[in-house]
Amino acid sequence: LAKTTQPISMDSYEGQEVNITCSHNNIATNDYITWYQQFPSQGPRFIIQGYKTKVTNEVASLFIPADRKSSTLSLPRVSLSDTAVYYCLVGDPRGTHGSGNTGKLIFGQGTTLQVKP
């Protein structure tokens, strides 16, 4: 499973755009890139998932360059409530159905985003 590297922490101010970059140099052909958000005392929550180029939803955008060795989560106009830990995961969420290798995704240490007023 591809290992990921992301900054331990980031600070931002309300209303700013925040970009968190994740490196995954040994990403495999079948691997997807998935980002999760975790608030204190809660389980992680899915934000966005992509395979290549750009993916956008109501919460964030995910930019993936052609070589797929990195990805950037972009949060537009953050607010105080976006203060959380953000995890980048790389893996084949499909696995091989029924093989025991289904959706085994490994979490790294994440990036703690602190949004200030």
Partner 1 sequence: DVKVTQSSRYLVKRTGEKVFLECVQDMDHENMFWYRQDPGLGLRLIYFSYDVKMKEKGDIPEGYSVSREKKERFSLILESASTNQTSMYLCASSDFQGARGNTIYFGEGSWLTVV
Question: Which residues form the interface with partner 1 (CB under 8 A)?
Answer: 32, 34, 36, 41-46, 49, 51, 87, 93-95, 97-110
Q: Shortest approach of partner 1 to residue 104 CB, angstroms?
A: 6
106 phi and psi angles, rounded to 5 deg: -105, 130
Q: Among residues 42 and 117, whose Cβ is nearest to partner 1?
A: 42
The residue (of 17 and 53) whose beta carbon lies closer to partner 1 is: 53
Strand order in the sheet with 9-13: 9-13, 111-116, 84-91, 32-38, 45-50
Min dist. Cβ of residue 14 to partner 1 (A)? 27
**CA dist., res. 2 & res. 25, Å (int):** 8
